[in-house]
Every structure is written in C-alpha cells, then in structure tokens.
Amino acid sequence: MGKPMTMEKSMSTERLHDARASWRKGAFFRKKVLPWLFVAPILLINITVVLGPALSAGYYSLTDWSGIGAANFIGLDNFRRILLEDSSYKSAFVNNLIWLGLFLTVPIAMALVGASVISPIRRGALFFRLALFVPYVLPSVIVANLWRTLLDPDRGIMGWLTDQGVPGTDIALLGRQNTVLPTIAFIDNWHWWGFLMVLFLAGMQNISRDLYEAARLDGANRWEEFRDVTIPGIRPVLVFMVLMTAIWSFLTFDYIWILTQGGPAGASEVLSVLVYKNAFQAFQAGYASAIGLTMSFFVGIIISIFIVLRRRGWEI
Amino acid sequence: MMRASSTKSKGTRELSLIPNYTILSLFLLFAIGPLLVLLFNSLKNRAELGNNPLGIPTSITWDNYPRAWDVGNFSTTTLNSAILVAGTVAAVLLLGGMAAYSLAKLDLPGGNGLMLYLLVASSLPIHLFLVPLFFFWRQLGLVNNLFGLILIYIAVNAPLAIFLLRSYMVQLPRDFEDAARVDGASEWQVFTKVVVPLSWPGFLTVGLVVSLAVWNEFLLATVFLTDQSKFTVVTSYYNFTTQFSRDWTLTSAAAVMMIAPILVIFLIFQRQFIEGMTQGGMKG
C-alpha cells in the first residue's frame, strides 16, 4: 500500500496519473479479485457436488426420470404419490418420528448422567472420558456387525440369557417387526452417546465452582444443584444438540441400511432408505428426488422452529 | 446420589464419589465390553467360539488374522482407503486452507454470504443431492473411480475444514503477515510461508478429523464404488460380513485389523480429535 505513495513526489504529473490508475487497478485486483481466487477452487468443487445436484433434485422431483435417459415433466405427481398412495412413505416417516423420540431422550439422558458423574472426579477422569468416547470413532459397519453378533438369538448375549433361564429372551431382536427399530436405535446410540457426553462435560467444566458453593450454602441437594446450576450452565450446548439431534433423526441411514436394509417387511424403513431403494434398486430417480426433497423440507421446518423460538426471546 | 454436606474432610469427599465411580464402571463395561468380546473372538478357533461365544479364549490362535487378511482382500482395500484419505486430506487442507485464509485475512468481499452458503450446504441432506450426483458422476465416468469419490469427499468436508481453519487463523496476530507484506511477499507467499506454519495445529486437527471421517465413511463409498477392486475397507467389510456372517472368528479378526490403527492414532492424538470433532459438531 505504501510504495506508490512514497514515489509520488519524484514523478511527473503524467506518470503520477498512470501510477495512480494502475495502483487503483491493482487495488481492485488485490481487494476484490484475489480473495475470491483463494476461495474459488474449493467453492467450485462444493457447488458442483452439492449445490448443483441439490438444485437439479428440485427439478427431477417433478419428473418421472429413471436415472438414465430423458426425464418427462409430470408436475407434482410424485408428491401426490407420496401423500396419497405410498403407504411405505407414511410408515417410514413414522419410523423417523420414533427415531427422533428415542434419540431426544435416551442418549441425552445417558450423556447428562455420564458427564455429571465424571465432572466432579479427579482420579481417572481423563481415562473415563476417553474410554467412553472410543465407540464414537469406530466405523458404522464394525459397530453394526459387532452388535449383530452380540444380539444373536443363539450365540450372543440373548442366547446366554436364554441359557440362564431368563424368560422372553429367546428372540431375534433384529428379526421381529416390533423390536427391530428400537434395537437398531440402541446400537446406533451405543456409538453416539459418548460423543454427546464429552460435549456436555466440556460445558460443565466451564461452570464456575462458586455457583455450586452458593447452591450448597443455600442447602441444595445434588438433584437441585443439577437442575438449577448444571442444566442452565450447559444450556447452549444442550439446546444446540437437541436441534442437531432433531435434524439428524430425519437423515439417519447407515445403521439401518447395514443391519436390515429397512426390513423385516419395511418395519425399520426410514425416509433415507426409501431414497436409496427408489433411486438405485427401483430406478425411480425422479421419485427418489422428491422424497429427498421432503427430507430437506423437514430439516427446514426444524431449523425454522428453532429460529422462531429464538426470535420470541427464548434463550436458545 | 449422595447428599453433599458442606463440612467434609478429604476422606469423606472421596467416599461421596463412590456412586460416581460405580456408575462410571457400568458405563465403562457397556462401552468397552463389546470391544473385548470382539478381540476375544478374533483369537478363538471356530469350535471354541461355538461353545464359548462371549468369554475369554482358553487357547489362543492367530490363524484368523492372515486368513481374514486374504479373504477380506485387505491388501487392495487398505490401499484404496489410503488413497481416498490421502487425496481428500491433502486437497481439503490446501484448498480449504486457502479459503479460510481469504476469509480470515483478506477481508473477502461477500465473506458473510460465503459463510452462510457453507452453513446451508453443510446442513443439506446427502440424500437430497445424492441421486442427481450419482447419475451425473456416471455420465462423467467418475463412478467406480477413486478420484471421483475424492472430489465428493472434498466438497462434503469443505465447510467443516473452512470453519475450523478460519477460526484458527482469525486468532493469529496480523503483525507477522504485515511484516512479510512490507518485505514484498505476495499473498500466496504470506499464506504458505507465514500463516500456514503459524496455524499448523489447526491443520493437524482438521487433517485428523477428516481422515477419520473418510476412513469410516459408508454411504457415499457404497454408492459410488460398486466394483470389488475399488472397495474401501469399510464397504469390503460390509460385503464380507454378509458373505461370512456365521464365521465370527473371521469377521472379528477383520474388525480388529480395521479398528487397531484407528484406535492407536486416536489415542496418540486424542486431544486434537476430541477438540476437532466437538467443535465440528458445534458448528454443524
């Protein structure tokens, strides 16, 4: 910036004018163009992979596209089919809601308990934090298969319980329509809750010790401490993770696909499974795009609820 | 849980934590127990596994490991996964680092708009763009092509990388860069010679988190790599467990071989991993 200015005095008016013009041109390049050159490569890749196909999914959702060849425009027919004809869509949507209910309660409760029992201890705190986090770094295929063997009705934990004479354990949890979805949620949660716990723990460690002292002087017991000090103290993390859980519950795929592919008889089908099956097995890419669009719609609704509540003055 | 009294000696304080340690031990058993069973089963022969599917092996056999390595075609799949990880991480660090530099240090005009775009792009469901992307990639010949999948991984991991690196670079004092600029360094030189060396812990964190994400990734790998010779360790394991679903000695040995490197690297860099993953979670 300084260079052209210091040279000014030794220049003739004409040359000064030129220098100023080229400096201005340089400034335009340096301030407006160059920063975008640094951003351009990764932005172009992201637009090609994410934005472009996402927008074209909007168009294909209005067609009968098979994935190969031409796509005929059929208006809102795919959405009519979703709303009125496709019973598998309804049951998949209900399964997403069940999944949402399970994940808004079980892992959050487990993580809150875990974090609040680790938080006050000194000895072994790091060890426990690490050990409980370990399942989160494992690949889904390994976790899924490990638990498939552990829950095997003949040889796994269930088989062992049956051998011990525990009644009602002689069942294939993943093979029955009424147990399959909670069982997959249990397996997914085994890998997930430790991550949540570490987030909550980080939040709890930022709460001032003085607040707990004050609560104790007021005669609060541990439950009251937890309710009145801990929960408000980690509220930002808690609310954010409730939001993310709600979003992810509509997108869940890996564990269900790996363990049952939506079976038995569609009992564990969720929307993402329908997208996959319609696109890559039934070759109804247009219809699959329409389902994918409805998934984004639900995510959009959740984010909007969050924003509206925040505007209304909820401290979230 | 026990009531905490305000006058406590050190001894009773330790004592009052007994419920905490009890609960933690149960959680520990829940989290690590299954992994021990996996390790045990990988060291049993098939006859013993039939009699004792959950307990400690009475005699140890190592045969399952070389057998799983061959049957699972690990020499090919490990190479494929390594190429995917290396390619993605190199590109995400270079290109994401450049974008982060521009946002943090060059006052990118429209920077807030870009941040908003990245936020939206990172919260779009993969299933929304997956279908058109697949058929588009197939036209371009990028299906069953490691480079094609690397491009997708770069795009998907870009927002996280840019957010984390940007937040790291914003904290760097401007003095160093300005000194370099006065000495006539170009912005590219400022980036590579000044900002990158100063923010390498951020690059390390992002590199580790992205490596793990790519190594473990299932959905995109299963859709875009359908040819057996292109399988990753993860998709190959998925295929392998459907083929050998009843031979738990083999599937357990394969699983241990896949987990071991992850665990070793995780334990060495646990601080960076946890920091990167929790911040990534917090930033969507």
Q: Per residue, what are the HEC states of B167-205?
A: HHHHCCCCHHHHHHHHCCCCHHHHHHHHHHHHCHHHHHH
Question: Distance between CA atoms of A275 and A294, rounded to whole angstroms?
Answer: 11
Cβ-based contacts of A303 with chain B (< 8 Å): 123
Distance from CA of A32 to the nearest CA of B (A): 6
Cβ-based contacts of A48 with chain B (< 8 Å): 151, 155
Is pLDDT at B270 greater than 60 in this prediction? Answer: yes
Q: Per residue, what are the HEC states of chain A?
A: CHHHHHHHHHCCHHHHHHHHHHHHHHHHHHHHHHHHHHHHHHHHHHHHHHHHHHHHHHHHCCECCCCCCCCCECCCHHHHHHHHHCHHHHHHHHHHHHHHHHHHHHHHHHHHHHHHHHCCCCCCHHHHHHHHHHHHHCCHHHHHHHHHHHCCCCCCHHHHHHHCCCCCCCCCCCCCCCCHHHHHHHHHHHHHHHHHHHHHHHHHHCCCHHHHHHHHHCCCCHHHHHHHHHHHHCHHHHHHHHHHHHHHHCCCCHHHHHHCCCCCCCCCCCHHHHHHHHHHCCCCHHHHHHHHHHHHHHHHHHHHHHHHHHHCCCCC
Q: What is the pLDDT of residue A7?
A: 43
Q: What is the ipTM metric for this complex?
A: 0.89
The residue among A247, A238, A219, A261 whose CA lies nearest residue A314 is A238
Q: How confident is the model at residue B101 (pLDDT cuts 50, 70, 90)?
A: very high
Work out the mean pLDDT of chain A and round it to a whole number.
88
Among A56, A131, A303, select the one facing B28 at the smallest CB separation.
A131
Cβ-based contacts of B154 with chain A (< 8 Å): 42, 45, 49
The residue among A54, A53, A76, A74 whose CA lies nearest residue A65 is A74
Question: Distance between CA atoms of B282 and B284, rounded to whole angstroms?
Answer: 6
Q: Is the dihedral of CA B92, B98, B99, B104 positive or negative?
A: positive
Query: How far, rounded to the nearest angstrom, does the alpha carbon of residue B149 sit from its chain's CA centroid?
Result: 16
In a mutational test of the A interface, the residue from B42, B115, B127 whose CB has the highest number of chain A CBs within 10 Å is B127
Mean pLDDT score, A137-166: 88
Cβ-based contacts of B134 with chain A (< 8 Å): 67, 279-280
Dihedral, CA atoms, A99, A100, A105, A109, nearest 10 degrees? 90
Size (chain A), residues: 316
Q: How confident is the model at residue A3 (pLDDT cuts 50, 70, 90)?
A: very low
Residues whose CB is less than 8 angstroms from the CB of residue A121 and which lie 6 or more positions away in sequence, other chains included = A128, B17, B20, B21, B24
Encoded tokens for A133: 């986090």
The residue among B30, B258, B58, B26 whose CA lies nearest residue A150 is B30
The residue among B128, B244, B94 whose CA lies nearest residue A50 is B128
Mean pLDDT score, A97-113: 96
Q: What is the Cβ-side half-sphere exposure of residue B36, based on CA atoms within 13 angstroms? A: 11
Is pLDDT at A16 greater than 80 in this prediction? Answer: no
Query: Please, are residues B31 and A194 in contact by the beta-carbon 8 Å criterion?
Result: yes
The residue among A309, A167, A312, A156 whose CA lies nearest residue A239 is A309
Q: What is the pLDDT of residues A180-201, one digit of tens each?
A: 999 999 999 999 999 999 999 9
Question: Distance between CA atoms of B196 and B177, rounded to whole angstroms?
Answer: 11
Distance from CA of B161 to the nearest CA of A (A): 11
Instruction: Report the percent of chain A where pLDDT is more than 70.
Output: 91
Is pLDDT at A67 greater than 90 in this prediction? Answer: no
Which of A302-311, B3-12, B145-154 is predicted least confidently? B3-12
- Of B52 and B165, the structure prediction assigns the larger pLDDT to B165
Which of A102-106, B79-83, B172-176 is predicted least confidently? B172-176
Contact B101 A38 (CB under 8 A): yes
Asked if the bond preceding A264 is cis, omega within 30° of 0, the reply is yes
Q: What is the pLDDT of residue B258?
A: 93
Q: What chain B residue is nearest to A71 in terms of C-alpha separation?
A: B132
Q: What is the pLDDT of residue A152?
A: 87
Q: How confident is the model at residue A29 (pLDDT cuts 50, 70, 90)?
A: confident
Work out the mean pLDDT of chain B and round it to a whole number.
90
Size (chain B), residues: 284
Is pLDDT at A168 greater than 80 in this prediction? Answer: no
With b meaning 16 or more CB within 10 Å and e meaning fewer, what string describes B240-266?
Answer: bbeebeebbbbbbbbbbbbbeebeebb
Give, in order, the Cα–Cα distances in Å from B211 to each of A18, A193, A243, B85, B87: 51, 22, 26, 5, 10
Q: How confident is the model at residue A32 (pLDDT cuts 50, 70, 90)?
A: confident
Instruction: Report the percent of chain B where pLDDT is more than 90.
Output: 70
Q: What is the pLDDT of residue A68?
A: 85
List the domains of chain A with CATH numbers.
2-6+13-52 (no CATH), 77-311 (1.10.3720.10)
Q: Which class in CATH covers the domain with range B67-282?
A: mainly alpha
Cβ-based contacts of A279 with chain B (< 8 Å): 130-131, 134
Which of A33-47, A267-281, B8-22, B93-107 is predicted least confidently? B8-22
Among A60, A121, A257, select the one facing B17 at the smallest CB separation.
A121
Enumerate the domain spans of chain B.
Answer: 10-61, 67-282
